[in-house]
Amino acid sequence: MFELSEEHEAFRAAVRDFAEKEIAPHVAQWDRDHHFPVDVVQKMGQMGLFGLTAPEEFGGAGDDGDFTSLCVAIEELGRIDQSIGVTLEAGVGLGINPILTYGSAQQRQQWLPDLVAGRALAGFGLTEPGAGSDAGATRTKADLVDGQWIVNGAKQFITNSGSSITSLVTVTARTGVLESGRPEISTIIVPAGTPGFVVEPAYHKLGWHISDTHPLTFIDCRVPDGNLLGERGRGYAQFLHTLDDGRVAIAALSVGLIQACLDECLQYAGDRHTMGGPIGRKQGVAFQIADLEVMLQAARGLTYRAAAMKDAMLAGHPGAPTPAQFKRAAAVAKLYSSESAVTATRTATQVFGGYGFMEEYPVARFYRDAKILEIGEGTSEVQRLLIARGLGLPVE
């Protein structure tokens, strides 16, 4: 069984204390109002949560942080509210990491200090109305004319893309045609406020009501040629690499939700009395809660095993996993944890009975928030495809 270090557990306690004091008292109202709490996001930045995987030169934790710490933070925030958890997950994994990994020295110096400090957020523009995992279906175009990229197209379901502190969105776009005839996909940094960059009204979502999520439109949006992120034609490959980390982070978010369901059910099973005693003494209820514990331990073990693999790769440890091994572990963790989280919320709602269907109880919010975990950062079907390929199966 994988065990976290004492340092990680102490860090967990600090994040849990923050979440219970700064988020828990307000989260039900924020959810009802679809309110994005910028002040809380900035407090998360002051705690150093956005800088856990960033070097000290940009204000990050440097050697004192790691990917496992980020997953611990996401889990603890997600235990209180999934929207806040995904704000951190996307802010680091989809906002900071592409610039940190592929950006030029000038790009890193320009954008990272504010992102790492939580003073700003960045979005990750991959999905389109007709494209996601299929790079060839990308319709957004970027033409290089007189030293400027002219971007035209649309993106959808983009997290952290329209808040008052969003500073940029990185977008994948067609920048040409390869010899094979397939589109050349590159990544362009588009700063917020650029003429032609239109943030459309926020979605009315089933769940994640507190998260900032918008469709985006680009109409003759011009940015300097220096806003190319990484190597031209490698944009889609860069984003796929980014998604491997993101899948482990979504698994951590799922673990937080399973833990929340277990916590709520244990409390309710002791407080709710029927037929002369607490419902927790009934096997029909007790066994369902026991299943939550099994799912929690399994999901947590898979998630932090994958996180440890990532940290070993970053540290260059002898015998560190290969990228292919990590990719498969990330897919396994994401698949199992996200599907277990959906099951856990259904179980929790059942344990609560009619009360579980009422918005005054958090399990109703948990139920609404869970489904997207099986979709974001690659659907369950995509994870099964990656796992099968990792096993050597020639699946298409």
Model confidence over 52-75: pLDDT tens digits? Answer: 999 999 999 998 889 999 999 999
The CATH architecture annotation of domain 236-390 reads Up-down Bundle (1.20)
Give the pLDDT score at 337.
98
For the residues 335-351, what does the mean pLDDT come to?
A: 98
| pLDDT for residue 41 | 98
Q: What is the pLDDT of residue 275?
A: 87
Q: How confident is the model at residue 19 (pLDDT cuts 50, 70, 90)?
A: very high
pLDDT per residue as tens digits for the range 164-202: 999 999 999 999 999 888 999 999 999 999 999 999 999
Q: What is the residue-averaged pLDDT of the chain?
A: 96
Phi and psi torsions of 394, nearest 5°: -85, 50
Q: Which amino acid is residue 57, in one-letter code?
A: E
Where in the chain are all domains bearing CATH 1.20.140.10? 236-390
In the numeric block, the tokens 């059942």 are attached to 350
Q: What is the pLDDT of residue 317?
A: 87
3 state DSSP class of 378: coil
- The number of CA neighbours under 13 Å toward the Cβ of 94 is 32
Task: Check residue 200 and report its DSSP letter.
Answer: P
Q: Is the pLDDT of residue 17 over 60?
A: yes
Query: At 273, is the secondary structure helix, strand, or coil?
Result: strand
**Cβ distance 263 to 75 under 8 Å?**
no
pLDDT of residue 181: 87
pLDDT surpasses 60 at 298: yes
pLDDT for 331 equals 98
Confidence bin at 135 (pLDDT 50/70/90): low
pLDDT attached to residue 241: 86
Instruction: Name residue 173's beta-bridge partners.
Output: 186
The predicted-structure confidence for 91-121, as pLDDT tens digits, reads as follows 999 999 999 999 999 999 999 999 999 999 9
**Mean pLDDT of the region 138-160:** 97
Secondary structure E strands in the chain:
121-125, 141-145, 148-159, 166-177, 183-191, 197-199, 213-224, 273-274, 277-278
Alpha helices in 205-322 (DSSP H): 235-271, 283-315
* Angstrom distance (rounded) from CA 346 to CA 258: 11
Catalytic (active site) residue 374: no
Residue range(s) of every CATH 2.40.110.10 domain in the chain: 123-233
pLDDT of residue 1: 53
pLDDT of residue 136 exceeding 90, the answer is no
Q: How many CB atoms lie within 10 A of CB 278?
A: 14
What 3-state class would DSSP assign to 53? coil
CB-CB contact of 186 with 233 (8 Å): yes
Q: Which entry of 76, 128, 339, 377 is annotated as an active-site residue?
A: 377
* Phi-psi map region of 142: left, alpha, beta (phi>0 left; psi -120 to 50 alpha): beta
The class of domain 123-233 in CATH terms is: mainly beta
pLDDT higher than 90, residue 217: yes
Contact 187, 235 (CB under 8 A): yes
What does the CA dihedral 118, 65, 369, 250 come to, rounded to 10 degrees? 120
pTM of the model: 0.96
Looking at the predicted structure, is the pLDDT value of residue 396 above 90?
no
Residue type (1 letter), 343: T
Give residue 3's pLDDT band: very low, low, confident or very high (50, 70, 90): confident
User: What is the separation of C-alpha 206 from the centre of its chain, rounded to a whole number of angstroms?
Assistant: 17
How is residue 365 written in tokens?
């919010």
Over residues 225-257, the pLDDT tens digits come to 999 999 999 998 898 888 899 999 999 999 999
Q: Is the pLDDT of residue 87 over 60?
A: yes
pLDDT for the residue 264: 98
Q: Are 152 and 223 a contacting pair, CB within 8 Å?
A: no
Domain with CATH 1.10.540.10 in the chain: 6-120
Provide the CATH number for the domain formed by 6-120 in this structure. Answer: 1.10.540.10
